[in-house]
Amino acid sequence: MRALHSSMISRDPASLAQSPDAIKTELDFPGSLHAKFTNKLNIVDPSLINPLDIYRVVGVDGNQLDTSFDIDVDKPLAQKMYKDMVTISILDTIMFDAQRQGRLSFYMVNAGEEASAVGSASALKPEDNIFFQYREAGALLHRGFTLKEMMSQLYANKDDYGKGRNMPVHYASKKLNIHPISSPLATQLPHAAGAAYALKMRGQDAIVICYFGEGAASEGDFHAALNIAATRSCPMVFFCRNNGYAISTPSLEQYKGDGIASRGVGYGIDTIRVDGNDIFAVRRATQQARELALKDQKPVLIEAMSYRIAHHSTSDDSFAYRSKREVEDWKRKDNPITRMRKWLEIKGWWSEEAETELRASTRKEVLKAFSSAEKVKKPKIKNIFDDTYEELPEKLKAQRKELAEILDTYPDHYDLSHFENGREGLEEDK
């Protein structure tokens, strides 16, 4: 119950009563207790308010700009962070092509946002719970999700934790406290608030982090989540990846205000905007946000600015709505991976040879995981029915029997050879 009572918003209804003298002086409206009266009419023009600054630690050339602190990343950690970003970019290329060859039904790439994912994940503790949107593979990898686990999910084989039920990139891991990804956008935001409240009730030294894009922030669940997280003082971090596009919709058509960060302030939430291409800015902001969320038991919002270099997904050709030149410019101008590489080189922790070696060995690793996962059988077909409820209701037992009858009557109409135990895999073994 640590810090529970002190941080909970409690308003004694009696405190809203006006003192006898109040009528003579000024009234406190219950809806805004601290606002002052003014005799000057002023409709607030948001365009006259300066946009929130973008926090940076390391510049495009790899040099440290915020010198007020020492970057607390030693050589092994730095090299792991770099390797994770590179692995994701290699994985993306291979899986994108695999999807194009029809070996995978769907894939979503991360290009341009590797630093947001890896940088923020590097600031978390294993006991922190994570709710992802879907474009945060770097965080998954950095936390310890293996390439084999990823491939099992992508191929929906029998080792997949989701038992082959979910579309590719909808990862989950109980042991890593990563909640199962779902396609509906922003639904995970209020979940994260509820989960953070559970941690708070248990007095656990852990927070929840919740990732989402700037497009998802237009959903009603974004509003619902920030408001309830603030009023219930939930220890959590809202992490927004503002990459400029929601599929084809540019942020200019997504909102009129100062991005997502300005809204955090409106909900009474501590907020910071960071350079999403700067892995150290992301890491430091997340570290501090985590600390604040834990110490004061309250939510913090981080808006990481970046650019979605990748297509939205394998079902999207982004050159239908933006120019190749725009994308090429972005790639050339700034890129989270090259920026970190420059920093590593300045430190003397990286070289051309190390780069060549890393890329070759990672490629080999990815291809190996890829081809092994492809060969693994699909899960048992009983998984069609299992886990719908905690226990299989009578009606589902009856429907499973109906399917068995169909499979036995028309054995040539369905191919069960890819599934573990084939036809037998339908039978109950729980």
Partner 1 sequence: MLSQLRSVVATRIPRRLYSSLAIPQASPNHISFSDAGFLSQSSAQTLRSQELAAQPNVADGTTKSMNLFQAINDALRIALETDDSAIFFGEDVAFGGVFRCSMGLQEHFGQDRVFNTPLCEQGILGFGVGYAAMDATAIAEIQFADYVFPAFDQIVNEAAKYRYRGASEFNAGGLTVRMPTGAVGHGALYHSQSGEAYFAHCPGIKVVIPRSPIQAKGLLLASIRARDPVIFMEPKILYRASVEHVPLEDYELPLDKAEVIKPGSDVTLIGYGTQLYYMEAAARLAKEELGVDCEIIDLRTISPWDRETVFESVRKTGRAVVSHEAPRTNGIAAEVAAEIQSECFLSLEAPVQRVTGWDTHVPLMYESFVIPDVTRNFHAIKKAIEY
Q: Which is closer to partner 1, CB of 105 or CB of 351?
A: 105
Is 179:195 a contact under the CB 8 Å cutoff?
yes
Report the residue number, 1 or 23, with the smaller CB distance to partner 1.
1
Longest CA pairwise span in the chain (Å): 89
Per the CB < 8 A criterion, the answer to whether 135 and 170 are in contact is no
Angle at 352 between CA 347 and CA 356, to 5 degrees: 125
User: Minimum distance from CB of 249 to partner 1 (Å)?
Assistant: 20
Q: Which is nearer to partner 1, 353 or 394 (CB)?
A: 394
Closer CB to partner 1, 211 or 280, in the complex:
211
**Which parts of this chain interact with partner 1 (CB under 8 A)?**
1, 4-5, 8, 10, 129, 131, 161-163, 165-166, 170, 172, 174, 179-180, 182, 184, 187-199, 201, 220-221, 223-225, 227-228, 231-232, 383, 386-390, 393-396
Cα 22 to Cα 37: distance, rounded to the nearest angstrom: 14
Give least dist CB 425 to partner 1, A.
15
- What angle in degrees, to the nearest 10, is found between the helix axes of 220-231 and 188-202? 20
> Which helix (H) or strand (E) segment is 278 a member of?
none
* Burial tier of 251 (Cβ tally within 10 Å: 0-12, 13-18, 19+): middle
Q: How far is the CB of 210 from partner 1 (least distance, A)?
A: 9
> Which segments of 185-270 does DSSP mark as H helices, in order?
188-202, 220-231, 261-266
Give 126 or 393: the residue with its C-beta nearer to partner 1: 393
Query: What's the DSSP call for residue 245?
Result: E
Minimum separation from the CB atom of position 368 to partner 1 (A) = 26
- Minimum Å gap between C-beta 41 and partner 1 is 30
> What residues pair up with 173 in beta bridges, in sequence order?
178
Tell me how far apart the alpha carbons of residues 193 and 89 are, in angstroms, rounded to a whole number: 31
Least distance (Å) between residue 184 CB and partner 1: 5
Measured from the CB atom, the residue of 225 and 426 that comes closer to partner 1 is: 225
- E strands, 185-329, are 208-213, 236-242, 245-246, 249-250, 270-275, 299-305
Q: How far is residue 237's CA from residue 312's CA, in Å, rounded to a whole number?
A: 25
Tell me the closest approach of the beta carbon of residue 170 to partner 1, in angstroms: 7
The minimum distance between CB 223 and partner 1, in angstroms, equals: 7
Contact 58, 282 (CB under 8 A): no
- Cα dihedral angle (266, 271, 274, 279), rounded to 10 degrees? -140
Closer residue to partner 1 (CB): 60 or 224: 224
Q: Which is nearer to partner 1, 94 or 224 (CB)?
A: 224
CB of 295 to partner 1, least distance (A): 18
User: Comparing C-alpha atoms, which of 15, 41, 42 is closest to residue 28?
Assistant: 15
Identify which of residues 206 and 285 has a Cβ nearer to partner 1 in the complex: 206
- Helical pair 279-296 and 114-121, crossing angle rounded to 10 deg: 40
